Structure 1
Amino acid sequence: MSAGSGLLSGTRGATLRLILVLAGLAALWAVLFAVNEVAWDVMLGEWLGLDLRQPVVGAVHFLLYDTAKILLLLVGMIFVIGLLRTTLRPERVRSFLEGKPLVLSLGMAAVLGAATPFCSCSSIPLFIGFVAAGVPLGVTFAFLIASPLVNEVAVVMLADMFGWQVTGAYVTAGLGLAMAAGWIFSRMSLERWVEDFVFAAPVAALGLDGHRPSLAERVGAAWEETRDIVGRVWKWVIVGVAVGAAVHGWVPTEFFATYAGPNNPLAVVVATLVGIPLYSNAAGVIPIAEALWAKGMATGTVMAFMMGTVALSIPEFILLRRVLKGPLLGLFFGTVAAGIMIVGFLFNAVF
């Protein structure tokens, strides 16, 4: 065997070992993500003997579970997207999207968001990866809005509680709001309001000198990018989820009865603004919405409360502030909140 053949064989062997390591790590990540909630149930409920129904214990459980989930998503999604970007250059992503009508690109992003059953905070890792990959901000925002608003669990639960007519209108409104907000953002030049580190990631510089990077170089660049981004935001994940845990499941029912009842013409505005601090996913807020609806709250007001709770939250604001500068963050929250209120008023007029 020649020296060249031996070197080639060694390179192939190293590549195969790296692939096996990556497969093993992927399997470990999948197991950790799958058992995350159950593991905290066992640790707190069985090992420590705590009652998970108690508000304080439930808040601690939520903090541990949601923090672990978001950090796992950050590490996993940023790494995978970074690895894909070492093969698929941002220019190709942009050219692919530029070749499609804007409405189609926004629709694809909204449908992808609906297919990923994440809460508002859990969608941020994919949002960061898409922005870093060169996906236009308007399209990326459409994904970020649709992901928490619409998913298959929410659709089934809504249909069971409110019927298919309200459910169909909710899904249409959620996807329409995501696309409309994305279209508005697409009309503006907003890239300057994204933090520089998102675009200056190690993956972006890989292969610029014409060198075709090896798998090991691709993995190294993707891991360096993951460490950089996660290192910048992990503390804020904990802060954001801690804020969410403090208010998780708490709904001021007496406040709603007084200020968001059918006699208040601004009930939709009140419901939206009150819903924003209450961090939850769609499946978690629907039973609360049903209880408010059963007490006589108008359908549009209930939907506005739901949308405000799942699409916008203080934890999401804290996390996004590490990625977006103040003006863009304010524009995003203001636009989505206004859209939710419009949807609420339309629902009250129709139902």
Structure 2
Amino acid sequence: MFDWLQHITNWLVYDVMSLSKGEHLSEALNFFIYDAIKILILLFVVIFFMGIVNSYFPIDKVKNYLSRNKLYGLEYLMASLFGIVIPFCSCSSVPLFIGFVRGGIPLGVTLAFLITSPLVNEVAIGLFIGLFGLKTTVIYVVSGVLLGTISGIILQQLKLESYLTPWVQKVLANAQKEQDTFIAEKQTISKRLPAIWKEVKSIIKGIIPYLLVGIAVGGLMHGYIPEGFFENYMGKDNLFAVPMATILAVPMYTNASGILPVVQVLIDKGIPLGTAIAFMMGVVGLSLPEAMLLKKVMTFRLIAIFFGVVTICIMISGYMFNLIL
């Protein structure tokens, strides 16, 4: 699909810049230019398309559906599936968390959405298809949805409502019905486009810094780290590879689109798919900055339990897919 882009990139690096093939700098630069342009194209197409979809699928409807319908345990799966079509990042964790809890949605169901949405959103899926193909994308989506569903069920059974912060308890005590937050459904697509385009620009503007840093790191790894380096430490034969990848991911702070170029290099360098996915999930779902943001709505004990359950589920997911593939 992007062969034309690879030819242009090769021309820029090897002809215009007069760099030699096979050198560390030329390979790193080639990777950076190619992936930056390719991922930006994918981002624009995917975000614009999903912006149209989301304009007909406002988040208030999700809250109303989950709070008013008895789903006999399937609400955790439904919350995780809703997380795919509603973009969310750690920076919006506090208002989203409050909105769902105020809507009468059980805490475990809210946490299932909170886990899945940053991991398996439309941007990540679009980039995954473009970078790794359909098979890997299906594996990633299934593992992310299962992670959110199972974690939500476990967290609900632990009865953690008492560990919400006093600030949240006060908000809930004084809660009023929220007003609709999106454009009326009867508006035509042409009237929605300005708002959709504004949202596209906002999302891309917020993603680009993380994206470029991730691609730069991926480019350096691609150009300077020799083949087989990661296999010595995180290969299938290393029993502790998945926990290592998950724990090493925690200090990092980026979103799914920013970490994907790094994951691409890890897989190219020989790291098993399950270990690479565990690393990505750790970066997106277990970052320290997210923990600090959640401190507004969760006590330290609840954050520790939340991160602990998610960490265990990520590790199990990584081991499972390493065994299957």
* Superposition TM-score, scaled by structure 1 size: 0.58
1:96 and 2:72 are equivalent in the alignment = no
Alignment of 1:255-334 (within 5 A): 256=230, 259-334=233-308
Bigger relative contact order, structure 1 or 2, given CA contacts below 8 A and separation 6+? 2
* Structure 1 position 93, deviation (Å): 8.3
| Structure number with bigger Rg | 1
Structure 1: stretches of 5+ with no match in the other structure = 1-79, 85-89, 208-214, 219-240
Say if 2:107 is the partner of 1:137: yes
Instruction: Give CA-to-partner distance per residue, 1:145-169, whole Å, 9 cap, x none.
Output: 0111101221122122222112111
Question: C-alpha separation between the residues in 1 aligned to 2:143 and 2:102?
Answer: 28
**Partner of residue 342, structure 1:** 316
Residue identity opposite 1:317 in structure 2: A
Q: Which amino acid aligns with 2:284?
A: V
Q: How many angstroms apart in 2 are the aligned matches of 1:205 and 1:120? A: 23
Cα distance in 2 for residues equivalent to 1:256 and 1:265: 14
Q: 1:156 aligned to 2:98? A: no
Query: Partner amino acid for 1:113?
Result: G
Change (3 A) 1:259 1:204: same
Is this contact kept in 1: 2:85–2:122, CA < 8 A?
Answer: yes
2:71 is aligned with what amino acid? K
Q: RMSD across aligned C-alpha pairs, in angstroms?
A: 3.3
Offset, 1:266 = 0.9
Alignment check: 8 A CA contact 1:93 1:134 kept: no
Counterpart of 2:87 in structure 1 is 117
Note the C-alpha offset of 1:258.
Answer: 5.4
Task: Tell me how far apart the structure 1 counterparts of residues 114 and 267 of structure 2 sit (CA, whole Å).
Answer: 27
Contact 1:275 1:305 in 2 (8 A): yes
1:199 equivalent to 2:173? Answer no
Shift of 1:256: 5.0
Q: Distance in 1 between matches of 2:299 and 2:267?
A: 37
SS of the counterpart of 2:312? helix
Question: Which ranges of structure 2 fall in alignment gaps of 5 or more residues?
Answer: 1-57, 181-205
State the Cα distance separating 1:188 from its structure 2 match. 2.3
- DSSP 3-state at the match of 2:252: coil
Amino-acid identity (%): 42
For 1:141 and 1:261, the matched residues in 2 are separated by: 32
The answer to whether the 8 A contact 1:132-1:198 is kept is no
1:62-73 superposed matches below 5 A: none
Q: What count of residue pairs does the alignment treat as equivalent?
A: 229
What is the Cα deviation at residue 100 of structure 1?
2.6
What is the TM-score normalised by the length of structure 2?
0.62
C-alpha distance 286-321 of structure 1, shift in aligned 2 (>3 A): same
Specify whether residues 202 and 317 from structure 1 end up closer, same or farther in structure 2 by C-alpha distance, changes over 3 A only.
closer
Match of 1:171 in 2: 141
Report the Cα distance in structure 2 between the residues aligned to 1:203 and 1:324, rounded to whole angstroms: 16
Task: Kindly provide the amino acid, as one letter, of the partner of residue 252 in structure 2.
Answer: L
